[in-house]
């Protein structure tokens, strides 16, 4: 008989969130984050499934023309694709659904069964060394963050208490993943809607822990070198004085950026410099929960049907640039009208040369009006 996993000692985090760590039947890490005042019992079921061994760590190949690393993760071809609700792999296990999470939960985080990076960890060779046909292991970690046990929804449909629990989980996982050997950058994100490519309707997001600093952040670091280390402070000051502000609180400001690429694009900046979610205070996280909910509900109030989007938490690298790269959330959507999407065709897809379809000031005005129609989130 194989050994069954045990639970570690529960840990109380910010806002009264309780963290309970264990593992799944194949050894993948599983963490429950319980809401403050949860009605769930402390005991959780053990994952007693008989699972195949985990796939080997994928490899990544270097594009010598750009310097980008491309992970070749063929095991992802077998991942779930739009399953019916009764076979939801992110729902709590039931007699008819041997899903990934053995117990009822508030928020749950676990290692992805078909990861793009990992499960192996460890430092790699010099990533920037020259040469053709360079291949390295895709070390790192990919995690799934389940926002709720419900079969459908998104971050914007959560209660403020649950949203606060998710934010605490993001911060906790950012700190833990940043400390893993070989991890260079941690990226929490949510994909919402089939138009974005979502294959599971269950409310969830993901966290990628990369073995390299991503191309987007590398470009940002070059911009900071050009513009100065106070770049984000100057951006916040400039945007706060513009007509593109959508929502502003004591600790956070949401705005449509001056040079928005997407027909719907919103950036959120903290008012003080923090490198990542792990560096935010309880007060900043407390405000962020209702702030973010109202913003997303405003995005959905633009049309009669939910808006597809990518919500991306851009964080500083785990080691380097942390005094200059400020945590920032970027929400983007290809929806340019009620029944029209912006497709990345020749100029954007092939050359990376963007053409905006909507004047950023006009987009901000529509979003402000939509957010104003959303009730205050308590």
Task: Please list the active-site residues.
Answer: 204
Give one DSSP letter per residue of 208-250, joined into a string. Answer: EEESS--HHHHHHHHHHHHH-TTHHHHHHHHHHTSTTEEEE-S
37: left (phi over 0), alpha (psi -120 to 50) or beta: left
Q: How many residues does the chain have?
A: 378
DSSP one-letter code for 97: B
Instruction: Kindly list the strands in the beta sheet with 135-137, ordered across the sheet, starting from the edge strand earlier in the chain.
Output: 69-72, 59-62, 135-137
Q: Report the candidate in 315, 73, 346 with the shortest Cα–Cα distance to residue 217.
A: 315
From residue 314, give the alpha-carbon distance in Å to each of 136, 214, 233, 267: 25, 10, 16, 10
Tokens standing for 164? 């606060």
From residue 6, give the alpha-carbon distance in Å to each of 28, 33, 44, 184: 13, 16, 10, 30
122: left (phi over 0), alpha (psi -120 to 50) or beta: left
Give one DSSP letter per residue of 71-91, joined into a string. Answer: EE-GGGGGS--S--GGG-TTS
- Compute the distance between CA of residue 32 and CA of residue 176 in angstroms, rounded to an integer: 15
């Amino acid at each position: 008989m194989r050994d069954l996993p045990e639970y570690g000692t529960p840990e109380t985090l910010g806002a009264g969130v309780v963290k309970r760590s264990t593992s799944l039947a194949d050894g993948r890490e599983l963490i429950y984050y319980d809401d403050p005042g949860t009605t769930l019992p402390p005991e959780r079921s053990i994952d007693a499934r008989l699972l195949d061994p985990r796939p080997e760590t994928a490899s990544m190949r270097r594009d010598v023309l750009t310097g980008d690393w491309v992970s070749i993760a063929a095991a992802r071809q077998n991942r779930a694709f739009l399953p019916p609700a009764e076979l939801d792999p992110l729902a709590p296990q039931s007699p008819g659904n041997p899903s990934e999470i053995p117990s009822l939960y508030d928020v749950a985080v676990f290692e992805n069964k078909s990861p793009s990076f990992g499960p192996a960890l460890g430092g790699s060779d010099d990533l920037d060394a020259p040469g053709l046909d360079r291949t390295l292991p895709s070390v790192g970690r990919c995690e799934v963050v389940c926002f709720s046990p419900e079969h459908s929804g998104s971050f914007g449909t959560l209660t403020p208490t649950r949203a606060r629990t998710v934010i605490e989980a993001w911060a906790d996982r950012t700190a833990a993943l940043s400390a893993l050997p070989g991890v260079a950058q941690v990226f929490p994100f949510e994909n919402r809607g089939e138009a974005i490519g979502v294959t599971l309707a269950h409310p969830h997001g993901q966290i990628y822990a990369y073995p390299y600093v991503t191309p987007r952040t590398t470009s940002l670091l070059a911009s900071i070198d050009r513009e100065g280390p106070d770049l984000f402070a100057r951006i916040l000051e400039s945007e706060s004085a513009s007509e593109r502000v959508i929502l502003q609180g004591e600790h956070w400001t949401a705005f449509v950026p001056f040079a928005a690429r997407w027909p719907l694009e919103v950036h959120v900046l903290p008012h003080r410099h923090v490198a990542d979610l792990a560096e935010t205070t309880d007060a900043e996280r407390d405000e962020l929960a209702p702030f973010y909910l109202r913003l997303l509900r405003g995005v959905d109030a633009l049309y009669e049907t939910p808006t597809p989007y990518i919500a991306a938490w851009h964080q500083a690298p785990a080691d380097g640039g942390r005094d200059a790269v400020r945590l920032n959330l970027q929400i983007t959507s290809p929806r340019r009208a009620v029944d029209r999407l912006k497709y990345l065709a020749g100029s954007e897809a092939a050359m990376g040369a963007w053409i905006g379809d909507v004047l950023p000031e006009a987009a901000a005005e529509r979003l402000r009006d939509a957010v104003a129609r959303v009730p205050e989130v308590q």
